[in-house]
């Protein structure tokens, strides 16, 4: 590396270190807002967070800083693999945001924070009108951001999708989701017509928050969550927050008559946390730990939630502890009944509580609505009805409240383009789980409680290079195959045909 290149790199890294401090502070505030902050304090906390985020944004606008990483972009051949990823990312971000001023950024940050507060209030009061103006603001901010991007794609929604899943387009998703509908809609009808009835009465038996916390801690320990580097909290909408290299926090929500909700949200969020905990130290050293896409991340969370968590082997492993912690629930329940209950197929309103099979429809609904909102400028006031109509079309049910309809998810309070990554995550992990089965006895390891060996495989094959590759290249490097929906659909057909004796 030439001396001038080293000087430029050192300077860029020094600025990124300061930005990381701001980022960590904002992450702490965000975690506080979503867990323990009193309602009347949220707006003030949001303003503080917006200010700090904007101070970091101002650093990114410093001409000396821009000149330094643009110099590095023109001397990529002198950089190592990690720094090449960093500099390419900085250049891409520069092109996308060069026309966004700090004043715009501060205004938008405040708007997003207020949107979250308004969503929370709207959901609590079951009143869409409280959130509707913010939803309109969010759309306008997204569209303005796209218009200022000098490398914008011709279709508006593709620009938002690219923010979360680089290289994916609406054309790709239309093809993938059409395949899902072609195979899953007929299968859902067969499942609903099956004479087999799965017992679920015990799932609504009352439990205490203390019991659920004990189960949550047990499950996190079981999948390999490191409590010396992570913490567990509670919130309205479960999430994972990677505050820093050694500070990964997960959250859940305890319902007195729905203990399964907490169990599987904890496993899901624990999967996100493992991705952060087991990535290479070099990712943090070179400030590329946030380069992985949301589809990659959701592939991991839903891998642990579903492919591991809802498997017969995992049920066999945790069933004794379930009986120990929830004796008033499992006193008359067999292991097989528990396995069937956690895999029951039942169209429902709430995405985060949806069964594994119907979950994909929840994502398709949101994706189709997002395209209408962004590409066709759908009227905000029409969205609740459009939402309800699609639930009736795909799942045969119609929400009767905003809480169980359009207000159930937090994501639209800060933008569009995220939801498809949940479905893509399922499709990615179906591919790499099949590859895993070729190399290790994953079911046997899970059943014996040796999930660390599964984590070792994930670390080496799935997580290690995720920050350095784009999604389609990443999945091909793992599996040796181009991306396909087939593995996921084959898995669902095989599993649920057996479960329902089809």
Q: Catalytic positions, please?
A: 269
- Helix H or strand E encompassing 250: strand 247-252
| Of 149, 475, 170, residue with least CA distance to 295 | 475
Q: Are strands 247-252 and 240-244 parallel, antiparallel or unpaired?
A: antiparallel
Distances, alpha carbon 2 to alpha carbons 9, 79, 297, 303, 464, in Å: 11, 10, 36, 44, 29
Q: How far is it, in rounded angstroms, from Cα 231 to Cα 294?
A: 22
Q: In what order do the strands lie in the sheet with 247-252?
A: 230-234, 247-252, 240-244
Which phi and psi angles does 461 have, rounded to 5°?
A: -100, -35
Q: How far is it, in rounded angstroms, from Cα 410 to Cα 273?
A: 20
Distances, alpha carbon 351 to alpha carbons 107, 280, 357, 364, in Å: 31, 32, 12, 11
Angle between helix axes 420-439 and 294-302 (nearest 10 degrees) is 60
Q: Are strands 230-234 and 247-252 parallel, antiparallel or unpaired?
A: parallel
The torsion angle over the Cα atoms of residues 377, 379, 383 and 386, rounded to 10 degrees, is -80
Q: How far is it, in rounded angstroms, from Cα 293 to Cα 295?
A: 5
Backbone torsion region of residue 333, taken as left when φ is above 0, otherwise alpha when ψ lies between -120 and 50, otherwise beta: beta
For residues 307 and 429, the answer to whether their CB atoms sit within 8 Å is: yes
What is the number of other CB atoms lying within 10 angstroms of the CB of residue 226? 14
Query: Across-strand partners of 250?
Result: 232, 240
For residues 112 and 137, the answer to whether their CB atoms sit within 8 Å is: no
Is residue 440 helix, strand or coil? Answer: coil
């Amino acid at each position: 590396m030439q001396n001038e290149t080293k000087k430029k790199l050192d300077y860029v890294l020094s600025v990124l270190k300061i930005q990381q401090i701001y980022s960590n502070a904002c992450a702490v505030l965000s975690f506080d807002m979503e867990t323990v902050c009193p309602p009347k304090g949220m707006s003030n906390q949001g303003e503080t967070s917006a200010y700090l985020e904007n101070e970091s944004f101002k650093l990114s606008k410093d001409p000396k800083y821009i000149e330094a990483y643009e110099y590095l972009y023109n001397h990529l051949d002198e950089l190592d693999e990690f720094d090449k990823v960093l500099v390419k990312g900085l250049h891409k971000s520069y092109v996308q945001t060069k026309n966004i001023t700090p004043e715009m950024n501060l205004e938008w940050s405040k708007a997003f924070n207020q949107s979250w507060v308004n969503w929370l209030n709207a959901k609590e009061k079951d009143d869409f009108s409280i959130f509707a103006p913010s939803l309109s603001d969010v759309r306008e901010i997204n569209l303005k951001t796209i218009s200022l991007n000098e490398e914008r794609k011709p279709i508006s929604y593709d620009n938002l999708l690219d923010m979360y899943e680089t290289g994916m387009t609406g054309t790709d998703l239309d093809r993938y989701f059409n395949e899902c509908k072609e195979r899953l809609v007929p299968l859902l009808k067969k499942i609903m017509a099956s004479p087999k009835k799965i017992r679920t009465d015990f799932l609504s038996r009352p439990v205490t928050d203390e019991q659920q916390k004990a189960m949550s801690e047990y499950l996190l320990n079981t999948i390999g969550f490191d409590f010396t580097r992570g913490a567990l909290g509670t919130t309205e909408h479960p999430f994972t927050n990677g505050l820093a290299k050694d500070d990964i926090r997960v959250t859940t929500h305890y319902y007195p008559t729905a203990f399964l909700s907490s169990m599987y949200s904890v496993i899901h969020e624990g999967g996100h946390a493992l991705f952060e905990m087991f990535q290479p130290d070099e990712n943090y050293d070179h400030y590329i730990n946030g380069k992985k896409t949301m589809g990659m991340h959701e592939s991991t969370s839903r891998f642990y939630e579903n492919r591991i968590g809802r498997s017969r082997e995992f049920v066999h492993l945790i069933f004794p502890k379930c009986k120990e912690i929830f004796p008033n629930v499992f006193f008359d329940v067999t292991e097989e009944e528990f396995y069937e209950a956690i895999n029951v197929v039942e169209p429902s309103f709430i995405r985060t509580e949806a069964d594994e099979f119907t979950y994909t429809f929840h994502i398709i609904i949101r994706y189709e609505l997002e395209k209408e909102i962004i590409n066709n400028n759908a009227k905000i006031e029409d969205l609740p009805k459009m939402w309800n109509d699609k639930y009736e079309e795909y799942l045969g049910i119609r929400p009767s409240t905003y809480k169980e309809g359009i207000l159930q998810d937090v994501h639209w309070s800060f933008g569009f383009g995220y939801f498809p990554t949940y479905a893509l995550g399922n499709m990615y992990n179906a591919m790499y789980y099949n590859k895993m089965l070729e190399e290790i006895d994953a079911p046997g390891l899970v059943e014996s409680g040796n999930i660390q060996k599964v984590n070792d495989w994930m670390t080496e094959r799935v997580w290690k290079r995720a920050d350095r590759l784009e999604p389609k290249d990443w999945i091909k490097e793992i599996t040796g195959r181009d991306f396909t929906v087939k593995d996921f659909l084959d898995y669902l057909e095989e599993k649920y045909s057996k479960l329902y004796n089809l």
